[in-house]
Copies of this chain bind each other. A is one copy, B any other.
Amino acid sequence: MAEMILREAVAKALREALEDERVFMMGEDIGAYGGAYAVTRGFLDEYGAERIMDTPISESVIVGAGVGSALAGLKPIVELMTINFSLVAIDQIVNHAAKLSYMSDGQFSVPLVIRTVTGGGGQLAATHSQSFENWYASVPGLKVAVPATPYDALGLFRTAMKDDNPILFAEHSLLYGLRGDVPDDWYEIPFGEADIKREGDDITIVAYSRMTHIALEAAAMLEAKGRYAEVVDLRTLRPWDKQTVLQSVRKTNRIVVVEETWRTGGFGGEIASTIQEEAFDDLDGPVARVGGIDVPAPYNGALEAATIPSAQRVIKAIADTYGI
């Protein structure tokens, strides 16, 4: 059992992947610069420029070249420096990567992993602090992973590398320094399998990516009040693990969904409405949602912090909805 930070877990996953000759990496400044978030530092020397390819600032062709080389039998890992910049490549992701298996009726598949960095909290302001995982999670043909711990990042990435479909793998910028245990023995984490990060009987808190830690914080605060929250980390959004959430809520009869992206139109709406559809009679009250405030991210630190869900806001939502 080794302890490492999430950045190291991802780097470990990438090195494992690169043992397969069909795997190569493409992206902006992943080589000579070492990666905007230093995930691939040293990779260029280790694997050479044929396999660690620095690209021009051309996201569409970065993703498209990934799609093409995947069609041709390779297993590319492309990096989009942040999910904000994925918008200039989203046509290649949604109209091409996600469609080719279906439109060719299975003649082709697109085994492509798109790594990107998501989330706010770094005072990077409105254009650089967004989370669009929910959009990608609405697209048939794509899969979306949103790990919250080093353990999950490694296990999910191993699975991603064995999958023949286009996958968006979103790493939260504020989690790269997060420490966690990672077994020495091989393990994998299937997509669509949520993880109960903490057990409890009083309320279910559903979260993903960095919000999992906000949920755990809230759970700790609840415990002080003598209430026990069950924290369910979805780990992947497409597919997402409905059953585990349903099981939990059937036990707790209370549920709040927490996510970082704008509350309006977020994936929380999908989860909340699905839960009330399938567990209506188990609920003591409505499914509550806590999401990002519906404004562009402000630069000022205090203002930005106020736009992102906090443990306090989770506690308040629970109190307002269930009176506990």
Which residues of A are at the interface with B, using a C-beta cutoff of 8 A?
60, 84, 87-88, 90-91, 94-95, 98-99, 102-103, 125-127, 134-135, 137-141, 238, 261-262, 264-274, 276-278, 280, 283, 285-289, 294-296, 298, 321
The answer to whether B276 touches A141, judged by C-beta atoms less than 8 angstroms apart, is: no
The answer to whether B287 touches A273, judged by C-beta atoms less than 8 angstroms apart, is: yes
Q: How far is the CB of A10 from chain B (nearest CB, A)?
A: 26
6 A-B pairs in the complex with CB atoms less than 8 angstroms apart: A139-B262, A140-B295, A140-B296, A265-B267, A269-B274, A280-B283
The answer to whether A138 touches B276, judged by C-beta atoms less than 8 angstroms apart, is: no
Choice from B90, B126, B269, B295 contacting A269 with Cβ under 8 Å: B269
The answer to whether A125 touches B138, judged by C-beta atoms less than 8 angstroms apart, is: no
The answer to whether B276 touches A98, judged by C-beta atoms less than 8 angstroms apart, is: no
Query: What is the CA–CA distance of A134 and B283 in the complex, to the nearest angstrom?
Result: 28
The answer to whether B126 touches A99, judged by C-beta atoms less than 8 angstroms apart, is: yes
The answer to whether A289 touches B273, judged by C-beta atoms less than 8 angstroms apart, is: yes
Query: What is the CA–CA distance of A290 and B247 in the complex, to the nearest angstrom?
Result: 24
Query: What is the CA–CA distance of A95 and B30 in the complex, to the nearest angstrom?
Result: 24
The answer to whether B95 touches A91, judged by C-beta atoms less than 8 angstroms apart, is: no
Residue in chain B with minimal CB distance to A84:
B95
The answer to whether B265 touches A272, judged by C-beta atoms less than 8 angstroms apart, is: no
The 10 closest A-B pairs by CB, nearest first: A138-B265, A269-B269, A272-B273, A87-B91, A269-B270, A280-B286, A102-B296, A277-B286, A269-B273, A88-B91
| B-chain residues with CB within 8 Å of residue A99 when the two chains form the complex | 126-127, 296
Query: What is the CA–CA distance of A277 and B238 in the complex, to the nearest angstrom?
Result: 24
The answer to whether B138 touches A264, judged by C-beta atoms less than 8 angstroms apart, is: yes
Query: What is the CA–CA distance of A266 and B261 in the complex, to the nearest angstrom?
Result: 15
The answer to whether B87 touches A94, judged by C-beta atoms less than 8 angstroms apart, is: yes
| B-chain residues with CB within 8 Å of residue A134 when the two chains form the complex | 138, 265
Query: What is the CA–CA distance of A204 and B262 in the complex, to the nearest angstrom?
Result: 27
The answer to whether B138 touches A126, judged by C-beta atoms less than 8 angstroms apart, is: no
Chain B CB within 10 A, most for which of A88, A90, A238, A296: A296
Choice from B84, B262, B265, B285 contacting A280 with Cβ under 8 Å: B285
Residues A103 and B90 in contact in the complex (CB < 8 Å), given A270-B269, A276-B272, A289-B273: no
Q: In the complex, given contacts A87-B95, A276-B286, what are 8 additional A-B residue pairs having Cβ atoms less than 8 angstroms apart?
A: A134-B265, A138-B266, A264-B270, A269-B274, A272-B276, A273-B287, A277-B286, A278-B286
Chain B CB within 10 A, most for which of A91, A273, A296: A273
